[in-house]
Every structure is written in C-alpha cells, then in structure tokens.
Amino acid sequence: MPRTLTEAEKQVLLAAPRGYCAGVDRAVITVEKALDLYGAPVYVRKQIVHNKHVVATLESRGAIFVEELDDVPAGATVVFSAHGVSPAVHAEAATRGLKTIDATCPLVTKVHQEARRFAAEDYDIILVGHAGHEEVEGTAGEAPDHIKLVESPADVATVEVRDPARVAWLSQTTLSVDETMATVAALRERFPLLLDPPSDDICYATQNRQLAVKEIAASSDLVIVVGSGNSSNSVRLVEVALEAGAGAAYRVDDATEIDPAWLTGVSTVSVTSGASVPEELVQGVLGVLAGHGYPDARAVTTAEESLIFALPVELRKDLKAAGLT
C-alpha cells in the first residue's frame, strides 16, 4: 500500500493555455446576445460547443438545442454551431424561411473554403478526421463528390482516388497533431504528389493545448483533463498526455467526476481543459484537489493567446440596428 504523502511532497501544475478558444468564446457570446436581442427561445442546431455545462447554462436562459432544422418552427431564429454546417443545411434553412446566425468558427470556415477550392480544381480530397463528427460532416458536405474520409494511418492503404497525381489533404481542426502527421506521412508515401492545405487545419487552440499538456505530462503522476466526452480536442488531450509520459490521465466533465482513488500516492497532479470548457469548471477541480491536501496550482505557460473573432455579421447588423453596439 502506498504511504500517505505529506503536503510538501504534493504539487499541482496548471497548463496554460487551456480552456476557451476564440471560436468557442464567439459562439457562446453569439447565443447569449441572440437571446438578449430577439428574446427566448432561440434555436441552436446541435450543441453550440461540445460542453454539457455550457449547453445547460444556455438552455436555462432560453436556448433550445435541436438536432436538425425540422425541429425548428417556421419563422424562428436558429444559430449554427461552432463546428460548421454543410451547404445543404444553409439551403434547407433558406427554403424554410428560417432566420439564421452562423456561429461557425472562422477557422472551420477556412477549411470549408479550402475544400471548395480543391474541389473546383477537381482534386480528390482526403479529409483526415473522425467519422460522424459534426465538423467532418459540414466540411465533407462542401464537396461530397471529391472528399474521402480517412481516420488513421491504417485507412490510407484502402482509400480510393481517381488520379493519384491529383490528391490533396485537409483535416478536422481538433485532431492530435502527431497522429495526423503520421496519417499524412502515410498518405504522402502512397501519393507522392499529395498537395498540402495552404495553412494548418489543426487550429492554433488545439495545437497550443496539446503542446502545453505535453510540457507537463512527463513529470505528472496524474493528468486531469476537464472536458466533455464528445469534445474531440478534450479527448485528444488525454491521449496526448498519456503518449507524453503521464502516469495516468483522465477526462472529467467537472470536479464531481474525480475518483479520490486516482489521487492515492500521487505527488504531481496536472490539470488542463479542452477548448470548450469554462474556467470555473477547472477551478472546481482545483478546489477538490485542495480538499485532498494539494497546494495552490503553479501555472506552466507555453504560449500566450490573444486571438478574438468578431461576432457573426448578421448578428452585428441586428445589434447595431437595435443600438446595442
């Protein structure tokens, strides 16, 4: 049985950056301002961001989350989530006369534009991503006849293209950087003329959070990642922490999910959070650690972030008309 550690033998490292990215911040503020401006209910197609606490908070203010546009009454206002939608969804909303506000993260929109451009040049596009993820469905919908999904290096051998000399790749924004590079290396081996996207598709926030957790994982007996189970970037943080040498790593939605047994014999605990996680949930985890005799956390900062995105143009216009800017 491990001996009980003294307080002096315990430490908490807090990864920075962590938590909200610019795209999530914009999407959440979009729903809040839409509720202020138009009044409840405001419909939101899919979870605005993949965090159950954020969704529950917005629900309590009058947002109604729906899976598809069929569930939105005629004439209502609907917000599209940060993960983006396919052109077919925009078209359906227009046909049904819905008022739409598009909270798609501009970094996802960039990937959609890349997909359209490669498709216009008649390239086959290999999209590296997770089947069924909303972002992948939205991006694939930009060029359904040109896009093939590949989830891992193992899929590369079987993907079919029309002309191996005219193949480009794109990716979901929230993947593991290392795993994606392994997939791209396998693609390039099979298609030596593979065309790269003009800039990284894995977004700055995903990359920064992975680098930050890597920095502290090897010296951690335990890494706690705050984030929901359907949050791709949060789930990746657990994987990255383990690959980087953490003794153990677990994802929790909030402090109530911490199993005290995880802390047995643990000297160094590191804490981080996914890009859709409000900071108060991280503070709740630190509070539980304090209750188990851990000292105040020491921040380990590997990058500074200052990016802010403007709100969706259609919302800004209505806010201005209402004298609310």
Query: Annotated active-site positions, please?
Result: 135
Spatial CA neighbour of 23 closest among 135, 129, 126, 100: 135
Does 174 bind ligand SF4 (CB under 6 A)? Our answer is yes
Residue 19 or 247 having the CB closest to ligand SF4: 19
d(CA 297, CA 270): 9
In the β-sheet with 222-226, what is the strand arrangement from edge to edge? 249-252, 222-226, 268-273, 11-16, 298-301
Residue 105 or 222 having the CB closest to ligand SF4: 105
**φ/ψ bin of 22: left (φ > 0), alpha (ψ from -120 to 50), beta (otherwise):** alpha
Q: Please report, as residue ranges, which positions from 284 to 323 form the binding site for ligand SF4 (by CB under 6 A).
A: none
Structure tokens at 162: 């029309």
DSSP code of residue 125: E
Please state the closest distance from residue 22 (CB atom) to ligand SF4, in A. 5
Binder among 128, 275, 281, 297 for ligand SF4 (CB under 6 A): 275
Binder among 51, 139, 173, 228 for ligand SF4 (CB under 6 A): 173
Binding mask 15-54 for ligand SF4 (x = CB under 6 A): ------xxxx------------------------------
Spatial CA neighbour of 174 closest among 21, 27, 26: 21
Binder among 86, 208, 231, 233 for ligand SF4 (CB under 6 A): 233
DSSP code of residue 195: B
Q: Please report, as residue ranges, which positions from 180 to 209 form the binding site for ligand SF4 (by CB under 6 A).
A: 203, 205-206
Which residues here bind ligand SF4, judged by CB under 6 A?
A: 21-24, 82, 105, 107-108, 173-174, 203, 205-206, 233, 275
